Amino acid sequence: MSKDLSKECVVATLAAQGVATESARAQNYASALSLVLKAAAPAYAQIAFEQEPAGFVAEQRRNAP
């Protein structure tokens, strides 16, 4: 089950870092972040849970530009 990030989540996350944003911008940020996370999800889902910490670094190195 995958859900899109809400603009409220983005506003709260930015506020926790001391950054204020407008509602329209927060919605754009939420949409962009949702697309990135949905694109990355299948690759992360293939990594075995017990290998994740080491697999994460290996995937970063393998897919580095």
How many independent structural domains does the chain possess?
A: 1
Q: Is 31 a member of any domain?
A: yes
Q: Which two tokens stand for residue 30?
A: 């939420």
Q: For 3-50, what is each residue's pLDDT tens digit?
A: 888 999 999 999 999 999 998 999 999 999 999 999 988 888 887 766
> Predicted confidence band at 59 (pLDDT cuts at 50, 70, 90)?
confident
Between 6 and 63, where is the model more confident? Answer: 6
Question: Which pLDDT score, from 0 to 100, does residue 61 have?
Answer: 85
Torsion of CA 28, 8, 20, 14, to 10 degrees: -90
Domain hosting residue 34, numbered range = 7-62
- Distance from C-alpha of 44 to C-alpha of 34, rounded to nearest angstrom: 15
> Predicted confidence band at 1 (pLDDT cuts at 50, 70, 90)?
very low
Q: Is 30 a member of any domain?
A: yes
Which pTM does this prediction carry?
A: 0.63
- Distance from C-alpha of 44 to C-alpha of 49, rounded to nearest angstrom: 10
Q: Count CB-CB contacts under 10 A for residue 11.
A: 20
